[in-house]
Amino acid sequence: MEHAMMFYLVLFLPMYSAYDYPNLALRGKATQSQRYMGKDGDSFSAAYNAIDGNRNSKFDRGTCTHTAEQTNPWWRVDLLESYVITAIKITNRGDCCGNRINGAEIYVGTSKDYNGPNSRRVATIAAIPDGATESIPLTDEVEGRYVNVVLPGSKKILTLCEVEVYGYQAPIANLALRGKATQSQRYNNADAGVFAAAYNAIDGNQNSIFIHGSCTHTLEQTSPWWRVDLLESYVITSIKITNRGDCCGNRIAGAEIYVGSSKDYNGPDSQRVATIAGIPDGGTHTITLSDGVEGRYVTVVIPGSNKILSLCEVEVYGFNARTGKA
């Protein structure tokens, strides 16, 4: 029955909101389907105007875009590299024509083609009041380099007075690989103790057979724990746990995961981010911290008496809070 065991996570309130990240659009490059070239307004209609950091919504102030009247007009910002997008803000024109934004679709993707397989529609705008700014949080978060705003239909005009894109650089590095691991007390059986080191959970190997030398193992004790020191503070966005596969997979049941700025997982500078009810034998489970939790230390603890903690890999993904880099 262990292989059929379901697992559940209790997630706690994250420390970061969707808008705590920088406006990535400010560093991007903008273009649009066809620029309005009317004799009075062509100088004010550039695609760049929507990423100039100015929400002024009067067209003649020169900080709004404006396409020609056409079928499916679009505007796009290239963020120059891929990011995890957490939120988008759109400022509508305010001096007239605010209803032109109605029905606009927003796409995020890894290619310029908004209607291709590498792009995802993340929102459809029903309406935005004249001159108002609409905030669109992406609760699932979507990775992409390009953000497109498209207005489907014939004889349409797309005008945007600001497009703000919030997010962080996609975590690509397993931060645990560069860390230092320790545990409460190492199992030291004469035959198997050599295989039980805390380091084994950050060796980059998910092999779940204990005697292959890539899993940890504590003594049977009260509240055994394992910890990785990432050596500096990161905003943690996900953690992966690989369970032992040759036996004893139920030992992981009830494990709690903490992220914090001090070694003391049960102190005020540490936050419990998940509780694991179970992971199938040899299985790897991902714990997603949707808005991130900042910390230098990641600790896995099994509360209770007569407990044994074995981990065959712990992977930690995130980014540096100062630089946005993994």
Domain ranges for the chain, please list them: 24-168, 173-319
**Distance of alpha carbon 142 from alpha carbon 108, whole angstroms:** 7
CATH of 173-319, one of 2.115.10.20, 3.40.1160.10, 2.60.120.260, 1.10.10.10: 2.60.120.260
- 10 — pLDDT class (breaks 50, 70, 90): very low
Please enumerate in sequence order all residues whose Cβ is within 8 A of that of 65, keeping only pairs 6 or more positions apart, or say none. 30, 32, 45, 46, 47, 49, 50, 75, 158, 159, 160, 161
Per CATH, the homologous superfamily of domain 24-168 is Galactose-binding domain-like (2.60.120.260)
Residue 269 CB neighbours (<10 A): 13
The dihedral sign for the CA sequence 53, 54, 60, 64: positive
| pLDDT value, residue 5 | 35
What mean pLDDT comes out for the span 287-314?
Answer: 94
The amino acid at 306: N
Going from the C-alpha of 149 to that of each of 65, 109, 115, 120, the distances in angstroms are 12, 12, 11, 12
Mean pLDDT of the chain: 88
| pLDDT value, residue 325 | 59
20-33 burial, b at 16+ Cβ within 10 Å, e below that, comes to bbebbbeebebebb
Question: Minimum mean pLDDT among 89-93, 135-139, 156-160: which range?
Answer: 135-139
**Distance of alpha carbon 124 from alpha carbon 182, whole angstroms:** 49
